[in-house]
Amino acid sequence: MSEMSVTEMFSYIQGFLSADQDVREDIRKVVQNLEQTAREILTVLQSVHQPSGFKEIPSKCAKARELFCTVRSQLSELKTKFPVEQYYRFHEHWRFVLQRLAFLAAFAVYLESENLVTREEVAQILGIEVVREKGFHLDIEDFLAGVLIMASELSRLAVNSVTAGDYSRPLRISNFINELDSGFRLLNLKNDPLRKRYDGLKYDVKKIEEVVYDLSIRGLAKESESGGN
Amino acid sequence: MNKREGEGWSRRNVEAAQEHDVHANPSSPVVAAFKVFQQELDTKHDKYERLVKISRDVTIESKRTIFLLHRVTNVPDVEAVLNEAEGKLDAVRQKIGLIAEELRGEDIYQFHRAFTPGIQEYVEAVSFLHYIRHRSLISLEEINARLVFMRTENGDPKGSAEAPPLGAHVLTFQVTPADYLLGVADLTGELMRLCIGSVGNGDIDTPFQLSQFLRQIHDGFSYIGNTGPYEVSKKLHTLRQSLGKVEDACYTLRVRGSEIPKHMLADVFSSRTTHMDTEEGVV
């Protein structure tokens, strides 16, 4: 290649930059649709906080599962917008929505089975991969962030289930969150956004403990236990 | 008394908490899952830290090369300085080879933030040397062409001697257009210093060449405008200042050059630049 003039060099670079911008524009459009679907799922799942919602948990989860079909097709559209090995080049565009979706999947699975969702399950619900080498994947930090969002949603659920007269649920949530907390304590987090979010977990734990305390001193926790048996 | 009681309490609490964790540990699938996450995160963070460290070395060595290159203005044997700089840059390239090795099989953008400062500094140094030698702007291809590394599989040192070409593989490192651009933006600051330095030595031709070159780069950046990354627009401001200083220098040379004997020019100039620096401080 012969010598390039300064002007040629800059227009060459400019070509790169505008191609990059086009890709980002495409990604942004798809991500907007994803955000819309994520909000719809959130609306469906949030109705479990309503007093009447506690009986409808299975049907709400089924509805959410249906909406995840839309998410899968939107995510497969997103995959076509950029070369797969450049995932992290554009990561920032879908990071937020993917965390929300991980939260929604984890929340739905918790409501169904009261278990912590695995990364594989979330990936399967969203129709994506777990490991980077296989394609569009769920970054581990995004998965963990989603789980942490779920923790604060569960502390809210504990409060509302008491209001709705379900006294045994907070105890189960408490056990679950404590387990989650000891899980997170195994991680060596850097001073990053995930760490910041993890620092909020202790307030969720505290809040649920307070709920459990309130129930215990009034004998409500025991009552529901014997009632359950 | 009170204090001791307090200590006893907290110790008991810690023990209780540890006991709680131990109880939670072995059976729980949650804890088992998090142990896997722990490993994965630690591996990633370790790699990131290693890259930051290499990048820092690349930055330091590139800066030293730039300082060395500034000496060309008042040294009789320019070629010796340039060769020494070339040698230093070879060492820097070896370091970049280490980055390429760390990034083998990875998504380079996942770790880009760890090594981008070093790469920008390298672009600055290598383009500075190129300018001094060839009076032209080094292209992105030329930079990338020198970042190709031959590696022999070093799994075991005995084996490498036996099968040299078969176990060898080529590693490349690609400077991104954005890093190239930011490195070139930094280069303009060095060119401005080179300009002022060469005037100080009574060199009258270099400032005019430099002002022309800087103007071309400035036009290039204006052409890119805000389509580039955010940092580029920030650097455009500094670039304007550098260009202004060089243009002022050329102006002074033209106006005063015909009046003042050559050997006194340096004095005129140094007083003028200090005046400009104080002005900058006020603004």
Among B38, B224, B228, whose Cβ lies nearest the Cβ of A188? B38
Following DSSP, what letter does each residue of A172-212 receive, concatenated? HHHHHHHHHHHHHTTS---SSHHHHHHTTHHHHHHHHHHHH
Pairing state between β B168-172 and B148-152: antiparallel
Which residues in A have their CB inside 8 Å of a CB on B?
1, 3-7, 9-14, 16-18, 21, 85-89, 91, 115-116, 118-119, 132-133, 140-141, 144, 178-180, 182-190
pLDDT for the residue numbered A3: 61
Tens of each residue's pLDDT in chain A, 229 residues: 446 789 999 999 999 999 999 999 999 999 999 999 999 999 999 998 988 888 889 999 999 999 999 999 999 999 999 999 899 999 999 999 999 999 999 999 999 999 999 999 999 999 999 988 888 999 999 999 999 999 999 999 999 999 998 999 999 999 999 999 999 999 999 888 999 999 999 999 999 999 999 999 998 876 555 444 3
- pLDDT bucket at B227, cuts 50 / 70 / 90: confident
Min Cα separation B15/chain A (Å): 15
Min Cα separation A18/chain B (Å): 7
Residue-wise pLDDT for B239-281, tens only, equals: 999 999 999 989 888 887 656 555 565 666 655 555 444 444 3
Among B30, B137, B177, whose Cβ lies nearest the Cβ of A116? B30
Among B41, B107, B140, whose Cβ lies nearest the Cβ of A140? B41
Question: With an 8 Å Cβ cutoff, is B33 touching chain A?
Answer: yes
Min Cα separation B175/chain A (Å): 12
- What's chain A's length in residues? 229
Min Cα separation B279/chain A (Å): 31
Quickly tell me which residue has 């627009």 as its tokens.
Answer: B233
Closest to A174 measured CA to CA, from A195, A186, A157 = A157
CB pairs under 8 A between A and B: 110
d(CA B89, CA B143): 12
Chain B residues with CB inside 8 Å of A16's CB?
Answer: 177
| B202 conformational bin, left if phi > 0, alpha if psi -120 to 50, beta if neither | left
How many other CB atoms are there within 10 angstroms of residue B109's CB atom? 15
| B135 conformational bin, left if phi > 0, alpha if psi -120 to 50, beta if neither | left
Q: Which whole number is the average pLDDT over B101-127?
A: 95
Please state the pTM of the whole predicted model: 0.83
A54 class by beta-carbon count within 10 Å (0-12 exposed, 13-18 middle, 19+ buried): middle
Quickly tell me which residue has 């797969």 as its tokens.
Answer: A84
d(CA A76, CA A73): 5
Give alpha helix (H) positions in chain A.
6-46, 57-79, 91-113, 119-126, 140-163, 169-184, 193-198, 201-217, 220-228
Find, in chain B, the residue whose alpha carbon is nearest to that of A7: B220
Among B20, B40, B141, whose Cβ lies nearest the Cβ of A140? B40
| Interchain proximity A89–B224, CB inside 8 Å | no
Among A4, A12, A183, whose Cβ lies nearest the Cβ of B30? A183
pLDDT for the residue numbered B22: 47
| Interchain proximity A4–B38, CB inside 8 Å | no
| Interchain proximity A4–B139, CB inside 8 Å | yes
Min Cα separation B98/chain A (Å): 21
Beta bridge partners of B148: B172
pLDDT for the residue numbered B265: 58
Token readout for B55 is 């990048």
- Residue B220, pLDDT > 50, answer yes
| A228 conformational bin, left if phi > 0, alpha if psi -120 to 50, beta if neither | alpha
- pLDDT bucket at B225, cuts 50 / 70 / 90: confident
Min Cα separation B266/chain A (Å): 31
d(CA A122, CA A141): 13
Mean pLDDT, chain B, as a whole number? Answer: 82
